[in-house]
Structure 1
Amino acid sequence: MNTALKALQLKARHQVYTLLSGNNLSKLHGEGYDFSELREYQMGDDIRKINWTITAKLGKPYIKELHANRELSVVVAALMDGSLYFGTDNDKQKKLTETAALLSYAAQVNGDIFTGIGYTRKETLLTPPTKQLFHVEHFSERLYETPLLGTEIDVEHALKDLFARLHKASLVFILGDFLEKLDLSLLAQKHEVIAVIIRHREEEFPKKLGEVTLRDPKSPEQTDTYFGRKSILRYRARLEENDAKLAEHFARYDIRSVKIFTDEEPLGKLMTLFR
């Protein structure tokens, strides 16, 4: 096994096992509920349970009535293509793998059912529902080692496939850089969805490069250009527009989110979700 990958796994495993044994990290506390029925909203109901799609169609508020499960289904789904290869290295792919490893170890330690799914252009990296440590570590290994440069996935198709695969209400973590439009509304109707955004800091705060050759990480195309102050302003405006639409989408469908930069420790960011 790649020594860098092994070090990543050992670090993630140590962090999760240490914190859980010290009772400092609560269990993944997704609702862990199965859908039961829709009923009209009543005074005192949690407004977060309102089904906005049905509410809009019927003209009055309806909520999703749920009943508790004893066992939580935790799904880690990674959207992976060349966009994770930013700059001169694949730091985003490594950080995504580390984050996925933390989530999967936490599920395994908690005794929850873990399912790992990685969407790439060539194949779907699938770990079937399991509690076994071997399968958890094999999943992170495949995320780490899959070549991505020059590839592009169909995000819409991947999300439809994910919805079709998940028959049981689950806590679903979607990992990716979220640099393009995507629709999580269908998943959020049945599952508790958390978006984990993996970014390189220079993607959000680019530097002046002057005369430069830029290569599209999703294709063989490259462009000779001048990347200066005006280019940065145009880029920042498009990124801010993209992220504003993301935030609106998340708020509309009650999707929690967290952003993790490649120079940050993901554990601290993830713990904010579970407090």
Structure 2
Amino acid sequence: MTSAFKALQLKARHQVYTLLSGNNLSKLHGEGYDFAELREYQIGDDIRKINWTITAKLGKPYIKELHANRELSVVVAALMDGSLYFAQDNAKQQKLTQTAMLLAYAAQYNGDLFTGIGYTRKDTLSTPPTKQLYHVENFAKELHDAPLLNTALDREASVQDLFTRIPKPSLLFVLGDFLEEVDLSLLAQKHEVIAVIIRHREEESPRKLGEVTLQDPRERRRVDTYFGRRSISRYLARQKENDTKLLEHFARYDIRYVKIFTDEEPIEKLLNLFR
């Protein structure tokens, strides 16, 4: 176990257990958890229960079934590729790991079922639904150590897989930098979805670099360029367009979100989210 991961682990456990013992974070979920479970339509089902949004997306009929309150299922899903490897290190990957651990420890402390799922280009990292610390910590270690440089994730395929992997309605945290379009509408039809945006400050406030060689962390491609005022203006315009569409998407499907920068403490942002 690397010293860097061990330090993150100890810090996350201390923060969560200290705050929860003071009852400041209590239950992770927000409002009503009597919402519907979705399954494929079967002959004899009431057609009034058909969920037409998901039926249209998947090309086959799905229906809603209401259930009484049950044990809370907390799922942390991480969308990971080379874009997390920004600047001179992988601070975004470390911050994502720290945030995932905080959510996992909080679920474990509350006695809720935790499931961890991490998507990379080559592998899908996952735990079974669990209350055991072993699975929680092993999942966090895999997130921390996943090789991401020069990899690109198929986000659409990951979201489709995530939909099929989680059979019952859950409190679903989707972690990533959200610098590319991600359609979470399918997931929001079935789960309470919270997007956790992990960013580096310089991704939103870039500085002039002058003559520089830039490398795409998702591809083995280098570009010699002059990164000055005009380049920054073009970059910020594209980023504003991306983030405007992202927030409109969240609002349309009632997806809550929180943004965490690599120089911030995730625990503070999560506490504000659940207050």
Deviation at 1:53, TM superposition (A): 4.5
Deviation at 1:70, TM superposition (A): 2.8
Query: What letter matches 2:36 in structure 1?
Result: F
Normalization by structure 2: what TM-score? 0.89
Deviation string, structure 1 residues 64-114 (Cα, Å, up to 9, x no partner)? 885442310000000000000001100000000000000000000000000
Deviation at 1:182, TM superposition (A): 1.0
Deviation at 1:23, TM superposition (A): 1.1
Alignment of 1:1-275 (within 5 A): 1-30=1-30, 31-35=32-36, 53=53, 66-275=66-275
Over aligned residues, Cα RMSD in angstroms? 1.8
Question: What is the alpha-carbon distance in structure 1 between the residues aligned to residue 25 and residue 270 of structure 2?
Answer: 10
Question: What is the alpha-carbon distance in structure 2 between the residues aligned to residue 34 and residue 115 of structure 1?
Answer: 19
Deviation at 1:228, TM superposition (A): 0.2
Question: What is the alpha-carbon distance in structure 1 between the residues aligned to residue 128 and residue 76 of structure 2?
Answer: 11
Report the 3-state secondary structure (helix = DSSP H, G, I; strand = E; otherwise coil) of the residue aligned with 2:116.
Answer: strand
With over 3 angstroms needed to count, the CA separation of the structure-2 counterparts of 1:52 and 1:241, relative to structure 1, is: farther
Question: What is the alpha-carbon distance in structure 1 between the residues aligned to residue 68 and residue 3 of structure 2?
Answer: 42
Q: Is there any run of 5+ residues in structure 2 with no aligned partner, and where?
A: 39-50, 55-63
Query: What letter matches 2:16 in structure 1?
Result: V
Question: What is the alpha-carbon distance in structure 1 between the residues aligned to residue 2 and residue 114 of structure 2?
Answer: 24
With over 3 angstroms needed to count, the CA separation of the structure-2 counterparts of 1:171 and 1:149, relative to structure 1, is: same
With over 3 angstroms needed to count, the CA separation of the structure-2 counterparts of 1:68 and 1:19, relative to structure 1, is: farther
Deviation string, structure 1 residues 181-212 (Cα, Å, up to 9, x no partner)? 11000000010000000000000000000000
Question: What is the alpha-carbon distance in structure 2 between the residues aligned to residue 65 and residue 237 of structure 1?
Answer: 44
Matched-pair contact (CA < 8 Å) for 1:117–1:126: yes
Matched-pair contact (CA < 8 Å) for 1:84–1:92: yes
Matched-pair contact (CA < 8 Å) for 1:32–1:171: no
Deviation at 1:273, TM superposition (A): 1.7
Question: What is the alpha-carbon distance in structure 2 between the residues aligned to residue 215 and residue 226 of structure 1?
Answer: 13
Deviation at 1:24, TM superposition (A): 1.5
Over the matched positions of the two proteins, sequence identity in percent amounts to 74
Matched-pair contact (CA < 8 Å) for 2:73–2:169: yes
**Corresponding residue of 2:61:** none
**Corresponding residue of 1:61:** none
Report the 3-state secondary structure (helix = DSSP H, G, I; strand = E; otherwise coil) of the residue aligned with 1:109.
Answer: helix
Question: What is the alpha-carbon distance in structure 1 between the residues aligned to residue 261 and residue 7 of structure 2?
Answer: 19
Matched-pair contact (CA < 8 Å) for 1:173–1:196: yes
Deviation at 1:169, TM superposition (A): 0.3
Aligned length: 254
Question: What is the alpha-carbon distance in structure 1 between the residues aligned to residue 25 and residue 159 of structure 2?
Answer: 30
Deviation at 1:272, TM superposition (A): 1.5
Deviation at 1:25, TM superposition (A): 1.5
Matched-pair contact (CA < 8 Å) for 2:36–2:190: yes
Matched-pair contact (CA < 8 Å) for 2:118–2:124: yes
Deviation at 1:237, TM superposition (A): 0.4
Report the 3-state secondary structure (helix = DSSP H, G, I; strand = E; otherwise coil) of the residue aligned with 2:225.
Answer: strand
Normalization by structure 1: what TM-score? 0.89
Report the 3-state secondary structure (helix = DSSP H, G, I; strand = E; otherwise coil) of the residue aligned with 2:244.
Answer: helix
Query: What letter matches 1:132 in structure 2?
Result: Q
Question: What is the alpha-carbon distance in structure 2 between the residues aligned to residue 65 and residue 96 of structure 1?
Answer: 34
Deviation at 1:32, TM superposition (A): 3.4
**Corresponding residue of 2:47:** none
Matched-pair contact (CA < 8 Å) for 1:195–1:257: yes
**Corresponding residue of 1:46:** none
Report the 3-state secondary structure (helix = DSSP H, G, I; strand = E; otherwise coil) of the residue aligned with 1:190.
Answer: coil
Question: What is the alpha-carbon distance in structure 2 between the residues aligned to residue 52 and residue 96 of structure 1?
Answer: 34
Question: What is the alpha-carbon distance in structure 2 between the residues aligned to residue 100 and residue 94 of structure 1?
Answer: 10
